[in-house]
């Protein structure tokens, strides 16, 4: 097996020579075989071992075993002990998820701090088949049936094409020692159940199962590429992107034969999960919206508008009298003037003596009203927005400049009559958006 493994790794991963490599080693058979293979193939690397402290002295013995092996071969090593159970309890996560997060967070940090180019892990094709079956059992889309990727950014899995059986043969032929993880033998975890009860039957039904599986993965990965290609070809036609929004043209979308599938493809990266609600949204009233953790999808007349969730609407900022300029949350300059030049959407001239400092910058609230410049009487801000055809997002982006609770200016849109300077005003204050 050594030759076969060596041939594969030296041809496929020739780019690794001269790179800074760190290898994740649990002490189990897979990672010990990969460590042996790397040594025998002349690679220089360091080792990182996670002690999750979940199996008492067994865990510590694993740690000791990895440490001794590294010392014996003069391989630099990093060891980290995690309070996995505590972390899981604290974050209300399963032990498996907790261990995974701790592990990859630490690896990230380790690579960044020490300038490693690649992290190597010892996953193999049986792991990939297990992952496929886990996702399948739980329910998934095509993207959940891609197996484990051989390379994912700077994580490489050189043993991925090999089976557990081949790795065992390698270990035997090359007298690699390793430690058995007692939790692997238990059926406690979902993965172990699949490993011990499903995979053996598949291999019995098709003795060539792992090869067939590799071919299946290739076919599915190719199908996924075409799905993404169709998705992006159609995207260009249907979606307009601006700096902070994507606008999905519903008239164009409705003409597509698989509109829900396209929406799913396009919106998946934004963390949405309530797909039926989203599909209903295409037919819903203007103003309806659906949220993911970070994004908002809004039905606005003939469009669905995707945007980042905005800040809470109750934020407000004070502008002290002595300030000449503010840079947050928007850029405003305030300057004393001897005369009025010309009002515009982005510049107003007000009577400074009529203002009560500090001025307030805040968002619109239900019940707000103002006295629009050039008009008689007052108007609800909501009515003004409606007349000006503001979308929900427009409304949320708009700042109101206020004196106490009275609106001075719907910034960048319309001034309030009450505060505007006129030819009699003695202290003219110019306020402009930069």
- Residue 65 C-alpha from the chain's centroid: 37
Check whether 28 is labelled as a binding-site residue. yes
For a second copy, the binding residues in 174-193 under the rule CB under 8 A are 190, 193
Determine if 138 is a binding residue for a second copy (CB under 8 A): yes
Contact letters (x/-) for a second copy, 116-135, by CB under 8 A?
A: --------------------
Whole-angstrom distance, CA of residue 81 vs CA of residue 69:
18
Among 60, 222, 240, 394, binds a second copy (CB under 8 A): 222
Characterize 176-200 residue by residue with b for buried, 16 or more Cβ atoms within 10 angstroms of its Cβ, and e for exposed. Answer: bebbebeeeeeeeeebebbbeeebe
**Do residues 428 and 337 lie in contact, with contact meaning Cβ atoms separated by under 8 Å?**
yes
- Answer whether 215's CB lies under 8 Å from 64's CB: no
Distances from the Cα of 305 to the Cαs of 95, 130, 244, 262, 360, in angstroms?
39, 39, 10, 15, 30
For residue 258, the minimal CB distance to a second copy (Å) is 5
Choose between 229 and 244: whose C-beta lies nearer to a second copy: 229
- To a second copy, the closest distance from the beta carbon of 14 in angstroms equals 23
* Residue 142 touches a second copy, criterion: CB under 8 A: yes
Whole-number Å distance between alpha carbons of 28 and 109: 23
377 annotated as ligand-binding: no
| Closest CA relative to residue 369, chosen from 382, 388, 387, 356 | 382
User: What's the half-sphere exposure (Cβ side, CA atoms, 13 Å) at 300?
Assistant: 19
Measure the CA–CA gap between 27 and 123, rounded to whole angstroms.
13
Q: How far apart are CA 371 and CA 376, in angstroms?
A: 7
Specify the stretch interacting with a second copy by CB under 8 A; choose among 138-146, 168-176, 297-305, 327-335: 138-146
Say if residue 30 carries a ligand binding annotation: yes
Which two three-digit tokens encode residue 347?
């510049």
What is residue 207's three-state secondary structure?
Answer: coil
Q: Provide the minimum distance between the beta carbon of 140 and a second copy in the complex, in angstroms, as a whole number.
A: 6
From candidates 71, 105, 215, 325, binder to a second copy by CB under 8 A? 215
* List 3, 72, 205, 285, residue binding a second copy (CB under 8 A): 205
Q: Which x/- pattern, by CB under 8 A, does the window 253-292 give for a second copy?
A: ----xx-xxx-xx---------------------------
Task: Kindly state the number of chain residues that form the binding site for a second copy, as judged by CB under 8 A.
Answer: 44
Annotated binding site: 26-31
Annotated binding site for ATP: 26-31
Site residues for a second copy per CB under 8 A: 136-142, 145, 190, 193-194, 197-198, 201-202, 204-206, 208-209, 211-213, 215-216, 219-220, 222-227, 229-231, 233, 257-258, 260-262, 264-265
């Amino acid at each position: 097996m050594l030759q076969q493994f060596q041939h594969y790794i030296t041809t496929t991963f020739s780019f690794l020579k001269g790179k800074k490599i760190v290898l994740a080693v649990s002490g189990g058979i897979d990672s010990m075989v990969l460590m042996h293979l790397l040594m025998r193939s002349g690679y220089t690397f360091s080792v990182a071992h996670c002690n999750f402290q979940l199996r008492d002295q067994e865990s510590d013995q694993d740690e000791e075993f990895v440490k001794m092996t590294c010392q014996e071969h003069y391989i630099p090593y990093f060891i980290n002990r995690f309070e996995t159970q505590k972390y899981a309890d604290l974050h209300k996560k399963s032990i498996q998820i907790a261990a995974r997060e701790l592990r990859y967070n630490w690896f990230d940090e380790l690579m960044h701090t020490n300038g490693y180019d690649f992290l190597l892990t010892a996953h193999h094709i049986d792991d990939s088949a297990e992952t496929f079956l886990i996702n399948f059992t739980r329910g998934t889309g095509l993207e959940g049936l891609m197996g484990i990727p051989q390379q994912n950014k700077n994580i490489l899995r050189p043993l991925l094409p090999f089976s557990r059986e081949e790795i065992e043969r390698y270990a035997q032929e090359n007298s690699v020692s390793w430690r058995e993880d007692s939790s692997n033998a238990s059926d406690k975890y979902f993965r172990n159940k699949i490993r011990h009860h499903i995979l053996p039957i598949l291999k019995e039904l098709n003795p060539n199962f792992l090869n067939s599986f590799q071919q299946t993965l290739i076919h599915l990965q190719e199908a996924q590429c075409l799905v993404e290609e169709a998705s992006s070809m159609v995207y260009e036609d249907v979606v307009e992107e601006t700096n902070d929004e994507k606008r999905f043209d519903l008239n164009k979308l409705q003409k597509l034969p698989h509109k829900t599938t396209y929406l799913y493809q396009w919106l998946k990266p934004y963390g949405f999960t309530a797909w039926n609600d989203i599909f209903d949204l295409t037919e819903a009233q203007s103003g309806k919206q659906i949220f993911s953790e970070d994004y908002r999808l809004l039905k606005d007349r003939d469009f669905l508008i995707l945007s980042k969730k905005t800040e809470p609407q109750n934020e407000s900022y004070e502008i002290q009298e002595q300030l000449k300029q503010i840079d947050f949350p928007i850029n405003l300059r305030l300057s004393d003037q001897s005369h009025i030049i010309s009002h515009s959407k982005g510049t107003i001239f007000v009577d400074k003596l009529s203002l009560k400092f500090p001025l307030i910058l805040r968002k619109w609230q239900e019940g707000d009203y103002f006295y629009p410049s050039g008009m008689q009487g007052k108007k609800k801000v909501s009515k003004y927005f409606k007349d000006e055809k503001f979308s929900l997002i427009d409304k949320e982006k708009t700042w109101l400049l206020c004196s106490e609770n009275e609106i001075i200016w719907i910034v960048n849109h319309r001034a309030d009559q009450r505060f505007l300077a006129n030819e009699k005003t003695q202290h003219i204050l110019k306020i402009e958006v930069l």
